[in-house]
Amino acid sequence: MRRIRIVGAGECGLPLAHRLLAGGAEVTVVTDRDSEAVLSGSITSTQVKFPPALDLESAAGLDCWRSAAPQIAGIRFTMVVDRAVAMQWSGRFTRPARSVDQRTVFGRWLRAFADAGGKLSIATPTVAEIDRGTADYDLTVVTRADRELAACFPADSAWGLPPRPQRQLAALYLDGVVPDPDELGTYVTLPGTGEVISYPGLTGRPGTERRCEMVLIEARPGGPMDVFGGVGDPGERLRLARGLLDRLLPPALADRYREAELTDAGATLVGAVTPVMRRPVGTLPSGAVVLGGGDVVCRMDPGGAQGANSAVHCGFRYGEAILRHAHGPFDRDWMIAAAEPWLTDTAYPAARWTATVLDPPGPMQELMLAAAEDSRLADGFADTFARPANMTELAVGI
C-alpha cells in the first residue's frame, strides 16, 4: 500500500486525498485546522465552480450540494462610467455553475475523509519538520504552503508575472440581496477603477445551508475603491462596501444591495493576491523532492474565477497519476510528468485567461463590444469561464 502525505486541505488537497483513499492508498492530510475550526472560522475566498470541476467532484461522491446550491446560469456583463451603464450584455453558460462556501465544503470533506479512514494531522509543521518526515512516506504533495515552504519551489521564469497584486480585494457573503431575475452572475467593470463581481451561493454548516449572495470587490491599488486597507471590523467592511456600491453603481443595480447584511461574523475577507507561477517540484533542505499542486504552483487573482477550478482539476489529475504508478518511485522525473497535463491543459490557460480579464488587450475589448450585439458571441464568451483555453479561438473569430 502506497503511503501518501498531503500538506494542505483545500480545493486541491482534499479531492486528492479522497481519490487516493478510495483507490486503496494510505493517506495522511496535514492541515492547521480540523472540521469544526473551519466551519466556525472566516471565509477563505470566493469561488465559482464550473461543470468540468463539478463533474469530477460528482463522480467522486464529493458534490454534496447539487440540489441545494443555487444555479448560476450565466454572466451579466456591465461596463459602468459615472454611475451610468456604458455597455451591457448577458451570456449564458452551456451548463450552470455553482458556488458553495469553502467553509461548508472543506468542513464536510474533512469529516468524511476521517470517517472513511483517512489520517488527519492537525499541525503547522516547519520546513525542517516536513523534511524529516519525508522518509515515512512514498510521496509528499504540497498543496498549501507558507512563504518558507513555497520558497522550496523555484519560480517559473517563463512567466512574466507582475511583482505585486493587480487588485486589492474585499469579499463579503451577504443576506438580503435582491436576486438577479435571470439567475445570472454579475460582472461590473468600472474602467480604471476596478470590478464588482456578485453571484448567488450557498453558505452555512452542513445540514443548515442557505442561499446568500457572494460579492467580490476588486479595486485597482490606490484608486477610489481601495478603501478596505487596515479595516478589520466586519461591520465596518460592510458599511464601506455598501457605500462604494451606492456611490459607484447605477441606482437600479445599487438598489439590489441596499438591505444587505453579513451572513455571519466571519463573512468578510480583505487582502490581495500576487500572481505566482512556480515549477511543480520542490526541493527540501535535505535534497528530498516533493510535488507541488494547486495554489502552490499556480496562484491567480480570484477575479477570473479560475483558482478553485484549477485546484480541483489538479487534485484529481494527481490522484489518477499516483494510483497508476503502483510500484515505481515518485522521483523528480515522475513528478514533472505527472504535473504536465494539469499545467498544460488547465493551469496555464486559466492563468492567461485571468490576466486577460483583469487587463483586457485590444482583441478582448473588441470581443466585449461585439458581444453586446451578438448573443452567440456573448454565450461563447461566458463559456470561456468554464473553458479558458477556448478564449484564443473565440477572439480570433470575431
Dihedral of CA atoms 154, 159, 162, 168 in degrees, nearest 10, equals: -80
Confirm if 212 and 218 have CB atoms less than 8 A apart: no
* pLDDT tens string 176-226: 999 999 999 999 999 999 999 999 999 999 999 999 999 999 999 999 999
Query: What is the Cα–Cα distance from 87 to 280, expressed in whole angstroms?
Result: 41
Q: Which amino acid appears at position 204 of this protein?
A: G
* pLDDT tens string 308-347: 999 999 999 999 999 999 888 999 999 999 999 999 999 9
* pLDDT tens string 47-89: 999 999 999 999 999 999 999 999 999 999 999 999 999 999 9
Query: What is the Cα–Cα distance from 293 to 344, expressed in whole angstroms?
Result: 13
Read off the DSSP letter of residue 392. H
Nearest to 6 by CA among 110, 151, 154: 110
pLDDT given for residue 393 in this prediction: 66
Question: Counting beta carbons within 10 angstroms of the beta carbon of residue 297, is it exposed (0 to 12), middle (13 to 18) or buried (19 or more)?
Answer: buried
Query: What is the Cα–Cα distance from 369 to 367, expressed in whole angstroms?
Result: 5
pLDDT at residue 120 is higher than 70:
yes
pLDDT at residue 39 is higher than 60:
yes
pLDDT given for residue 389 in this prediction: 84
Dihedral of CA atoms 343, 349, 352, 354 in degrees, nearest 10, equals: -100
pLDDT at residue 396 is higher than 70:
no
Q: Between helices 375-383 and 362-371, what is the axis angle to 10°?
A: 130
Q: How many angstroms separate the Cα of 25 from the Cα of each of 2, 110, 117, 390?
A: 5, 17, 11, 36
Query: What is the Cα–Cα distance from 215 to 257, expressed in whole angstroms?
Result: 10
- The angle formed by the CA atoms of residues 123, 128 and 132, to the nearest 5 degrees, is 90
**C-alpha count within 13 angstroms, C-beta hemisphere, residue 250:** 13
Average confidence (pLDDT) over 3-12? 98
Q: How far is CA 362 from the centre of its chain?
A: 27
Nearest to 52 by CA among 359, 346, 356: 346
Query: What is the Cα–Cα distance from 247 to 227, expressed in whole angstroms?
Result: 13
Which residues are CB-contacts of 237 (< 8 A; sequence separation ≥ 6)? 170, 172, 228, 231, 268, 270
Q: How far is CA 254 from the centre of its chain?
A: 26
- Backbone phi and psi for residue 321, each to the nearest 5 degrees, phi listed first: -65, -40
pLDDT given for residue 397 in this prediction: 46
Residue 365 CB: number of other CB atoms within 10 A? 10
C-alpha cell at 138: 512514498
Nearest to 271 by CA among 301, 316, 305: 301
Average confidence (pLDDT) over 134-147? 97
Looking at the DSSP bridge assignments, the partners of residue 137 are none
* pLDDT tens string 152-162: 999 999 998 88
**Which ranges of 116-172 would DSSP assign to H, the alpha helix?**
127-133, 147-150
pLDDT given for residue 369 in this prediction: 87
DSSP for 298-355, written as a single string: EE--GGGS-HHHHHHHHHHHHHHHHHH-SSS---HHHHHHHHHHHIIIIIHHHHHHHH
Average confidence (pLDDT) over 112-128? 97
Average confidence (pLDDT) over 258-263? 97
Mean predicted lDDT score pLDDT of the chain: 95
Query: What is the Cα–Cα distance from 237 to 243, expressed in whole angstroms?
Result: 10
Q: How far is CA 86 from the centre of its chain?
A: 29
pLDDT given for residue 394 in this prediction: 66
Give the DSSP H or E segment for 370: helix 362-371
Strand residue runs (E) in 143-209: 168-175, 184-190, 194-203
pLDDT given for residue 398 in this prediction: 42
pLDDT given for residue 395 in this prediction: 55
pLDDT at residue 281 is higher than 80:
yes
